[in-house]
Amino acid sequence: MNAEFRRRVALVTGAGSRLGGEVVEALARRSALVAAVDGDGPRLADLVERLRDEGLLVAGRQIDVTSSDAVDALVDQVEREFGPVDALVAMAGALRLGPALSITDQDWSHSLAVNATGVFNTCRSVATRMVGRGRGRIVVVPAHAVAAPRPGVAAYAASRAAAVAYAECLAVEVAAGGVHCAVVAPADVRRVVDEVCFLLGGGGVSDALGA
């Protein structure tokens, strides 16, 4: 375990997924205090228990990222208990598969709510506080890569595109306030954890925009 992120508070949404759990663990092993967030309570509890048993500083928080009130309350609680959030990794995602002409209203709405609105709610809440402090780093990681249009992923691809566009616009707007924002596209999931840690550690954020 190294001390690269010692005394830094990181908030990771989508922590219960395999990739989200790997990011939480990587940050914790670099001595960050990680607030791991997911809507799946049992899966999140398993992750937190395993990492705490290894002596890592991880706190689990179960919320619905599609609720702006729930997100704001979460960020307030994390900052009261642990201190200002230095790093946000927005990874919460939902994948509803199906042909474009057969997408149900529910699947379409759920995809947009989690993949786009969830990113918006989390980034807005955290970034507002970061700008007020003049520092902070945000990395948005879409749950799945969609390098080219293909059958069966229209709802996810559309919601993912919205999240990426929002994050790129956010990056331009908050840069002057000392906050750095990037998008990491998981085309190669083996590299995502390293890229996230590199960017949160002060790496070349501008190089990752538009991924």
State the catalytic residues. 156
- Can you say whether residue 202 is alpha, beta or left, with left for phi > 0 and alpha for psi between -120 and 50 degrees? left
Q: What's the CA gap between 73 and 111, in Å, rounded?
A: 23
- Give the neighbor-by-neighbor strand order of the sheet with 179-183: 58-62, 33-38, 9-13, 87-90, 136-140, 179-183
In the chain, count H helices and then E strands. Answer: 8, 6
Strand-pair partners of 11: 35, 88
Contact 60, 52 (CB under 8 A): no
Q: Is 90 helix (H, G, I), strand (E, B) or coil?
A: strand
